[in-house]
Amino acid sequence: MEVWQIFVAIGLFFAAIGIAAALFSPLAWIYSALFSRRKHRKLLSDLRDRIDLTLEKYGRDPLTNKKNPTFGEGISEAIYIQSNYVLGPGWFNQFIAFYHSLIGGNIKAYDDVLTLARQSCLQSLRDQASEGGFDEVINVRLETARISALTQGSKQNRYIEIFAYGTAVKYS
Amino acid sequence: MSEQQGISIIMVNTEEVPGKSITKTLGVVSGSTVRAKHAGKDILAGFKNIVGGELSAYTELLGESRDEAVQRMLQEAVGRGANAVVNVRMATSAITPGASEILAYGTAVIVE
């Protein structure tokens, strides 16, 4: 084998990596456009079923953001509960949001993902309350924060964190 | 996430402990923590974000940080001789890309 052949082989190898890297972004984008909303819708409908099950079990929604318990009976136990959910909106949604920021208007694509994140946080509170045998969760608060990744350029990925907390109480 | 492994005194986010009365207020206590995930998990989360959905690595990270912030707050409260912390609030801020600060604060009280 000649020396120049080795150099050509190395050159071809790097060229292949370059082409793969160049193709990755558009392919990933198309994949995101095709499957992102479908996935979010599926997650959301699964979650709605779980919420319905819990509501059926309690006969009412155990969560409230009132400061005092609904029923003025004695309370035997009170404990702090919390849950969080970090949401990646997906490339396609990020693109749509960017596009909408040019022309303005309601960004419907984000409604689904934010509803998903909030509802699953609240459902996690309900789950924790029913696991511990608590009757109600009072003073529920929701918070939203934006966190960004270190390695991928900070322009690309903007993750959203939803955080919910409240006080679970047990009636005596 | 709701279990406090270390110190377990009463902690609620309402103004009073339901079913108990506050006899003494000992002032504001707070605890904070700053954390970052290592780069490998950052990249994995980046791939997951192509389609979107829950990024469990970050959910875990922030859950752990909150527990730690709460623990530090409770430590301060115990140091002041309190047996409960009321009106607990949480705040999050992204101080640099890749790291966020979690702050927990509340009022240390003695309840009966």
Contact A150 B54 (CB under 8 A): no
Taking the CA of residue A169 and the nearest CA in chain B, the distance in Å comes to: 8
Tell me the torsion sign for CA atoms A35, A40, A41, A43: positive
Confidence of residue A166 (pLDDT cuts 50, 70, 90): very high
Q: Is the pLDDT of residue A155 over 70?
A: no
CA distance A159 to chain B (A): 8
Q: What is the pLDDT of residue B70?
A: 92
Two tokens, residue B66:
């909150």
Give the one of A31, A35, A143 whose C-beta lies nearest to B90's C-beta.
A143
- CA distance linking residue B9 with residue B110, whole number of Å: 11
Distance of alpha carbon A18 from alpha carbon A152, whole angstroms: 18
Q: Among residues B60, B110, B48, B58, which one has the least CA distance to residue B84?
A: B110
B50–A69 CB contact, under 8 Å: no
Determine the pLDDT at residue B4.
Answer: 46
Among residues A85, A83, A81, the alpha carbon closest in space to that of A161 is found at A85
Among candidates B11, B58, B90 on the partner chain, residue whose Cβ is nearest the Cβ of A147: B58
Q: What is the pLDDT of residue A37?
A: 83
Per-residue pLDDT at B3: 47
**A72, pLDDT greater than 80:** no
CB-nearest to B14 from A67, A92, A159 is A67
Cα–Cα distance for residue pair B85/B27, rounded to 1 Å:
10
Pick A4 or B38 by higher pLDDT: A4
Task: Give the Cα separation of B34 and B21 in Å (integer).
Answer: 35
What pLDDT does residue B2 have? 42
**Chain A residues touching residue B37 (CB < 8 angstroms):** 150
- Supply the CATH number for residue B45's domain: 3.30.110.70
CA B82 – CA B101 distance, rounded (Å): 26
pLDDT digits (tens, 9 = 90+) for A34-71: 888 888 888 889 999 999 998 988 888 888 888 888 77
B100 contacts A113? CB cut-off 8 A: no
SS3 B73: helix
Apex CA A36: angle with CA B55 and CA A116, to 5°? 55
Q: Compute the distance between CA of residue A87 and CA of residue B64 in angstroms, rounded to an integer.
A: 17
Q: Which residue has the higher pLDDT, B55 or A125?
A: A125
**Are residues B100 and A141, on separate chains, in Cβ contact within 8 Å?**
no
- pLDDT in single tens digits along all 112 residues of chain B: 344 457 778 888 888 888 788 899 999 999 999 877 666 777 777 788 888 888 888 888 888 888 999 999 999 999 999 999 999 998 887 777 667 788 999 999 999 8
pTM for this prediction: 0.79
Residue pair A114/A160 in contact by the 8 Å Cβ criterion: yes
Number of domains in chain B: 1
Query: Domain containing B99: what range?
Result: 2-111
pLDDT band at A122 (very low <50, low <70, confident <90, very high): very high
* Rounded CA Rg of chain B: 17
Distance from CA of B85 to the nearest CA of A (A): 10
pLDDT band at A157 (very low <50, low <70, confident <90, very high): low
**Rg (Cα) of chain A, in Å, rounded?**
24
